[in-house]
Each structure stands twice: as structure tokens, then as C-alpha cells.
Structure 1
Amino acid sequence: MSAEIRMERMTSPEIGAAIEAGVTTVVVAAGAVEQHGPHLPLFMDAEHGDRLAVEIARRLGGALVAPTIRVGWSAHHMAFPGTVTLERETFLAVCRDYCSSLAHHGFRRVCFVPSHGGNFAPLAEARDAFNEAAGPGCSVDVYADLAEVIGVWRRVAEGEAGLGARVGGHADIAETSIMMAMHDGIVREELAECGRLTTPEEEPELIRRVLNDGFASVTPNGILGDARGATARLGEKMIAALSDRMAAHFAR
């Protein structure tokens, strides 16, 4: 059986053999192609989803990784050039079709991993519809705790560098560090700057404003938090910590 776990890099017979051998869990990342401030490329969330899905599947064992859903629901970022969004209903229809396709081939568990903040709530709300699409022989689970993601990043940033206050959840020290860990030289480090600083107490109201009025209404440069101080080492620590937490959710 192939050592590769990313389905799009495998052949159809290899996937069939894996399912026959009992590899019946599949991890699906749901990312975005959207603005990430003046210093990060638009594929931040899609690339992060690729990495998280592989890390989570390895931790779970007996799991493959489906192709990442690279474009998500990003309507609230459309004030910034380059952002590509699906309508919420279109995004969820794509996710439902993933579930029915994967269940058809014999997968018995589908684990959705949102790597873009705007995808968390829609995926959580559609969990029942996903399970209906998958049918009785397959269960669908969604990691849906966006606040926990930001909390993991804050703990790592504070513990490793004393910079937890710079985590705000978008194009901040966390996402900048993660991109530096994934791709050397792609971050425009000289353009990394401070954006809208937040506290955990402010986040629910801020998220409501972002979704209702758009991202530009709360942060003109597209950053929530502060991107300065990012390092690849910090990014690797954040990827590992978040992968551990998400895998623990699906392992329960």
C-alpha cells in the first residue's frame, strides 16, 4: 500500500486498496483565497489547510487526506483586491458533494478542518445536512471552535516569545509565522505591520461586525492583531499545537 496519504497524489487503485485495508477516515480542509494584509499571499488559508489536514491525518492514523477546498466563503473580505469568494450556499453545496462522493467510495468518517475563520460557523451549522448527504454508513464531523484556534495561537506566541497580545486571528503574528514555516521567502517581511489589536473579550462583537459590515470596517490594512515578530520556528510550533488539538477533537 502506498505511503502517500494525500488522495490527489495517489492513484485510484491505491485509494481503493487503502479503503479495503481499513483506511476509512478522510480529512477535508476548507480554506480560502483572500486578502491577508500587505505582507501575506492570498493562499494563506488554503496552504494552511493543506498542512493541517496532513498533520491531523498522521496523528489519527488510518486516514487519508482529500483535496483541500481552496476557495471558501470570504464575502466579508471583498473590499480587498484579489479576494475570491463562493456564495455561502455554493460553498456548503461543494462540501455536501464531497461528503456524498467520499461516502460512495467506502469512507466511513469525514473530518472537516476549517482553516479560514469564515468557514467555521457555516460548516458547523451544516453538519446535519452533511451527514444526511453521506448516508447512514458514514459519519461527518466538523472542528468548529474558532475561539480555541486563536487561544492555541496566543498560548504558543506568549509561551515561546512573550508576544501573545499580537495574535488577533488574521494576518497576525500567528498566520505570518505559519506562512514562514511553510514557504521560505514568500512573506513580505518589510511590510508586516500592526493592524486592529483585539482582546478575547472583544472578539465575539468584532466577529459580528466583520461578518455584517466587512473586514475593512474594522481594519483598513486587513490585519487583526500584529504581524511583527513572526518567525518560522514560531510557525512550526503553532502548526504542531493546533494539529494536536484538532486531532484530539476527532479522536474523541
Structure 2
Amino acid sequence: MISRDTNFVVRGSSAFAWMTTEDAARLAGNGEKRPIALLPTGAVEQHGPHLPMGLDIWLASAVAAAAAAGENGIRVCEPFAYGSSAHHRAFAGTMSLSPQTFIAVLVDLCSCLWQDGFLPVIINGHGGNRAAIQVAITTLGSQGVVSAGFSYFDLIADVAARVLPDHAGGTGHACALETSLMMHVLPASVRQNLIPDGATPPSWPDPHLYAGPAVSVWRPFEAIRENGVIGTPSEASAEAGEQLFVEAVRRSRQTILKIQSEYGQRSIA
């Protein structure tokens, strides 16, 4: 069984920051392939009445730590906790960066990693970061820095379809998917007595996670549903969370290793 990192601190051989500067230089200079530096991104924002605000960065960090375990060529950086979350600012405690600030920080961090011989890979846990991460990667590429990024939840849409009763209309934000994952990874954080009933009111374009609307819009989440929840968290279960987490880790590891072998090494000077 894949272990869970309930402290959300990566220690030992998988941790980038656990290395000394001499360790980092030695790892980066050892072998033909650049080692991967995984950078978890997420958010600190509202997740309804039943989930903690740290969910996005905690889950991204937990997936990253488990995906890197036992892989000598992968290190997990300290998480970049704050994301682009202005659409949640009506809810107390949400901490948001502007897209421009988020992009600028990502570009600076990934540039440092590249200059020191690492291949930066962003592993994301917040849907609101997707577009900004694409811009950051494009900006880095124009500067000669090779980087890559993905959202772990985009890799498990078929698993969600299999283990959740309504993955299409029930998965979005503080939903059955995220609630199930937290029931598995950090069960004490889920306020089960506060899980709301019901589903998302009809809304266009479809706001659910796997809807893939052709039209891009921006809207505050309180305009969609007063509690900020998109989906059906009452359908969550720890059993579903375990299956989702195991596959998120397995597929993330596969993706990272493929990036390292098939993409990033081709542009090394």
C-alpha cells in the first residue's frame, strides 16, 4: 500500500531541501539525465463547510512525496502553497496571489532549478492554477528553460468515473473526489457532520472538474453556490479516496519519469 504523508513534510532521500548545497551539486552533476525537481503547487482557500483550506497544497504534496519515494532521480521541493484563488475571496481565510504574481514566482523558482542542473516539474493540486502554470511554462521556454507541469487530478478522470457515483456532475470543488481523498489521506481533517447535501445548481458553462467547457469564463464561486461547493461531497468515501490516491501516485510517477526520459533531456545544453 502506498504510504500517506500526513505531516506534509518531505524528509530524507526524497526531499530537495533536505540536501546540502554540496548534495544538490553532486546529484545534478551525476549522470546523463537531469534529476527531476518536483514543485508542488496548490492553494489555501475555502473548501466548503467540511474541508480544510489547505487541502489543495496538502494533497499535491502527498501525491508528490509518494510518487518520488524510492526514485533516486526525483526530489520534492518545499511546496509553493499559495495559488490564484481570487474566485474564492468572498470566503474568509482564502489567501490569493494575482495570476501575474503566481506566474512570476514560478518562473523565478523554476529558473533557479534549471540553472543548477535540475529539470523542474510542477505538480499541481488547484484547478485555478492551471492557466497560470501554462503561461509560466511558456515564459520559461522562451527564456531557454525547459520545464513541465500537470495537475494530478487530470490523470485520474477515468478512476473517478469508476469509483464515484456521479463523477461528471459530482466532481468540482470540495466535492466527492476531494472529500474522498482527504478521508483517505487525512481523515481527521474532514468535518463529516458538516458535509452538505445536494448538488451544484444548473450553471453554464458547466463548472464541474471534468466538464471541459469550450467557453472560458471567470466567476466567483459564491455566484454558483452559496457554500462554495461544486459537486456532491455526500457521495464521498474513504474507500474511493484510497483508490483515487493510489492511482494518482502511480500515474504521477509514470508521468514524471516519462517527462524526464522523453522530453526534458532533449534540450540540455
TMscore range, shorter length: 0.7 to 0.9
Which deviates further from its counterpart, 76-85 or 20-29?
20-29
1:40–1:187 contact (8 Å) kept in structure 2: yes
2:238 is equivalent to residue 228 of structure 1: no
1:72–1:91 contact (8 Å) kept in structure 2: yes
* Aligned positions of 1:78-157 closer than 5 A: 78-107=89-118, 109-133=119-143, 135=144, 138-143=145-150, 148-149=154-155, 151-152=157-158, 154-157=160-163
Normalising by structure 2, we get a TM-score of 0.78
1:59–1:247 contact (8 Å) kept in structure 2: no
Matched to 2:186, the amino acid is H
Alignment counterpart, residue 32 of structure 1, candidates 37, 43, 46? 43
Matched to 1:184, the amino acid is P
Counterpart-to-counterpart distance in 1, 2:54 and 2:175: 15
Counterpart-to-counterpart distance in 2, 1:29 and 1:99: 12
Report the 3-state secondary structure (helix = DSSP H, G, I; strand = E; otherwise coil) of the residue aligned with 1:18.
helix
Show CA shifts across 1:112-131 (max 9, x none).
Answer: 12210000111113322123
- The verdict on how the C-alpha distance between 1:44 and 1:106 changes in structure 2, with shifts beyond 3 A counting, is same
Q: Larger helix proportion, structure 1 or 2?
A: 1
- The verdict on how the C-alpha distance between 1:232 and 1:74 changes in structure 2, with shifts beyond 3 A counting, is same
Counterpart-to-counterpart distance in 2, 1:71 and 1:192: 25
Show CA shifts across 1:21-73 (max 9, x none).
Answer: 34621111110000000000000001011112223334866111111110000
Counterpart-to-counterpart distance in 1, 2:182 and 2:92: 20
Report the 3-state secondary structure (helix = DSSP H, G, I; strand = E; otherwise coil) of the residue aligned with 1:228.
helix
Alignment counterpart, residue 181 of structure 1, candidates 170, 181, 184? 184
Counterpart-to-counterpart distance in 2, 1:130 and 1:197: 39
Counterpart-to-counterpart distance in 2, 1:110 and 1:51: 18
* Aligned positions of 1:2-81 closer than 5 A: 4-22=13-31, 24-58=35-69, 62-81=73-92
Counterpart-to-counterpart distance in 2, 1:176 and 1:144: 17
Counterpart-to-counterpart distance in 2, 1:221 and 1:206: 26
1:27–1:64 contact (8 Å) kept in structure 2: yes
Counterpart-to-counterpart distance in 2, 1:127 and 1:60: 24
Structure 2 equivalent of residue 191 of structure 1: 194
- Stretches of structure 1 lacking an aligned partner (at least 5 in a row): none
Shift of 1:207: 8.3
Shift of 1:224: 0.9
RMSD (Å) for aligned C-alpha atoms: 2.9
Shift of 1:246: 3.4
Report the 3-state secondary structure (helix = DSSP H, G, I; strand = E; otherwise coil) of the residue aligned with 1:143.
strand
Counterpart-to-counterpart distance in 2, 1:150 and 1:223: 20
Matched to 1:123, the amino acid is I
Normalising by structure 1, we get a TM-score of 0.83
Matched to 1:151, the amino acid is A
- Stretches of structure 2 lacking an aligned partner (at least 5 in a row): 1-10, 263-269
Shift of 1:3: 5.2
Show CA shifts across 1:195-251 (max 9, x none).
Answer: 41679x833459845xx2211111111111111142333212112222333344441
Counterpart-to-counterpart distance in 2, 1:153 and 1:190: 26
Counterpart-to-counterpart distance in 1, 2:202 and 2:155: 15
Q: How many aligned positions are there?
A: 240
Report the 3-state secondary structure (helix = DSSP H, G, I; strand = E; otherwise coil) of the residue aligned with 1:244.
helix
Counterpart-to-counterpart distance in 1, 2:86 and 2:120: 26
- The verdict on how the C-alpha distance between 1:217 and 1:150 changes in structure 2, with shifts beyond 3 A counting, is farther
Report the 3-state secondary structure (helix = DSSP H, G, I; strand = E; otherwise coil) of the residue aligned with 2:189.
coil
Report the 3-state secondary structure (helix = DSSP H, G, I; strand = E; otherwise coil) of the residue aligned with 1:139.
coil
Shift of 1:7: 1.4
Counterpart-to-counterpart distance in 1, 2:75 and 2:219: 38
